[in-house]
Chains A and B, each alone.
Chain A
Amino acid sequence: MKKLILLKWLVRYLWITGVLAMGVMLFSYLHFLFTGTLNAVVKINGVEVQGMTIEKHILLLLIYFSLGLGLRAVFLLDDVLDYFKNLKPFSHSVIKNFNEIGVLFVVSALITGIPCFLLSGYFGNGIERTFSVTPGPIIMLICLGLFFMVLSELFKIAKAAKEENELTV
């Protein structure tokens, strides 16, 4: 249970810092937008974006939206950990939340991945073709999302087995 409490603290910390970061990002974006200083060099995931066009604004908003989805997933994970803490691991909400977390991570990865690819390909220094031993963060996020979806299915099976066991006389 100590590990669960530690995980819960970390997830809550992640959520609070995430919400603060999103607030700061939104404030900065609006500030730059209204003061007209957004034409300065902006770095998105390590890609330098010079001169803001309408397409880049849309891409920035997409990335912001995907961060929001990620935060929602963290919030749901915190909710799931509450159920674990209350010793209700096979609750319907846990199964539903795990599936939703998975979908959110996959959608977030795709929403982040496509704009970053476009940014590096068309607005950056051209598409880089690099080979690395470690998988990229987008692939990792998709794997994490699929893992949560599989976990949801496993919990569904486990819940059915538990109910069957309880209703065996």
Chain B
Amino acid sequence: MGIIVNVDVMLAKRKMKSNELAEAIGITTANLSILKTGKAKAIRFSTLEAICRELDCQPGDILEYVED
């Protein structure tokens, strides 16, 4: 399964820093780093909702499926 997390792309588009997003959505910077580096095994709907709200985007803008 090739799910790519494009949070850093969205962060760059919104000119927002990682720690600002982490603080806004209520997760640690370490956890946000896990998400950005693709090490995360799962993402909660509540986290996804918070990221979409803060970055003003759709889940599809953050998550992308790439065939192996």
Contact = CB atoms under 8 A, between A and B. Distances in A.
Whether chain B is bound by chain A comes out as yes
B19 interface: no
B44 A168 contact: yes
Residue with the greatest number of chain B CB neighbours at <10 A, chosen from A164, A167, A168, A169: A169
Interface string A81-100: 00000000000000000000
A51 B21 CA distance: 84
Nearest to B42: A168
A163 interface: yes
Contacts of B42: 164, 167-169
Contacts of A168: 40-44
A49 B51 CA distance: 78
B47 interface: yes
Interface in B7-41: 27, 31-32, 34-35, 39-41
Interface residues of B, number: 12
Q: Is the interface of A mostly helix, strand, loop or mixed?
A: mixed
Interface of A: 163-164, 167-169
18 contacts: A163-B41, A164-B41, A164-B42, A167-B39, A167-B40, A167-B41, A167-B42, A168-B40, A168-B41, A168-B42, A168-B43, A168-B44, A169-B27, A169-B31, A169-B34, A169-B35, A169-B42, A169-B43
A167 B34 CA distance: 7
Interface in B26-68: 27, 31-32, 34-35, 39-44, 47
A163 to B, nearest CB: 7
Contacts of A164: 41-42
Nearest 10 Cβ contacts at the A-B interface: A167-B41, A168-B42, A169-B35, A164-B41, A169-B40, A169-B31, A169-B43, A167-B40, A169-B47, A169-B34
Contacts of B47: 169
Contacts of B32: 169
Contacts of A169: 27, 31-32, 34-35, 40, 42-44, 47
A169 B35 CA distance: 7
B58 to A, nearest CB: 18
A16 to B, nearest CB: 44
Contacts of B34: 167, 169
